[in-house]
Amino acid sequence: MIVKQLSVFLENKEGRLCDAIETLSSNGINISALSLADSTEYGMLRMLVSDPESGVKVLKAAGIPAKLTDVICLKAAHKTGALSRILKAFMGKGIAIEYMYAFAAGENASVVMKTSDTEKAIEVIKESDIEAWEAETIYNINA
C-alpha cells in the first residue's frame, strides 16, 4: 500500500525542471504523476515514476537533489463526494494530511497523500474500506 514517491528539490532557475525531467527520460524512467510547488527561490517536484530507486540515483548522479518519500495512493471514483468520503475517514483520528495531489487512472481518480503517520493512515484506510493502489500498479500505470 505504500508507494515510493520521488521528491526533487529544484532551484527556481530556468532549465532546472527540464534538467530533472530529461535526466529521468534519458534513463528510461517514466513519470506516472507529478506535482510541482514553488516559492520564490526553490520548487519541490514530487513524482510517481516507473522505477523510483533508479530515479533517485540518476538524479543525484546528475547533481539534482532527490530523495524517496513514502506516500499512499488511494482510488477514488469519478463522482461527487468520493474525495469527501476519503477525507472524512481521517477526521478525528489524529492524522494530518501534509499534502495531497490527484491524477486520473482509467475509471478512477487516484489521490496521493503524505500523512503525518503512514502506519496509522493505513489502519484507517483498511477500517474504512477505502481502496488503495499497490505500488507496482502505480509504477507501471502507463506502461
What is the domain range of residue 94? 70-139
Residue 143 is predicted with a pLDDT of 57
Task: Give per-residue pLDDT as tens, 81-139.
Answer: 989 999 999 999 999 999 999 987 677 889 999 999 999 999 999 999 899 988 988 88
Distances, alpha carbon 102 to alpha carbons 32, 41, 53, 85, in Å: 11, 25, 22, 15
| 82 and 62 in a common domain | no
| Range 52-60 average pLDDT | 98
| 79 and 63 in a common domain | no
Look up the CATH number of the domain holding residue 46. 3.30.2130.10
| 77 and 96 in a common domain | yes
Residue 142 is predicted with a pLDDT of 67
Reported as a pLDDT band with limits 50, 70 and 90, residue 23 is: very high
| 98 and 55 in a common domain | no
| 63 and 114 in a common domain | no
Predicted TM-score (pTM) of the model is 0.89
Q: How far is 141 from 68, CA to CA, in rounded Å?
A: 19
**Phi, psi of 53, deg, nearest 5:** -60, -45
Give the Cβ contact number of residue 104 at 10 Å. 10
| 75 and 63 in a common domain | no
| 76 and 129 in a common domain | yes
Give the Cβ contact number of residue 95 at 10 Å. 19
| 102 and 45 in a common domain | no
CB proximity list for 75: less than 8 A, separation 6 or greater: 105, 108, 109, 110, 111, 130, 131, 132, 133
| 84 and 45 in a common domain | no
Last residue of a domain, one of 15, 35, 67: 67
Please, what is the average pLDDT of the chain?
A: 92
Q: Total structural domains in the chain?
A: 2
| 83 and 115 in a common domain | yes
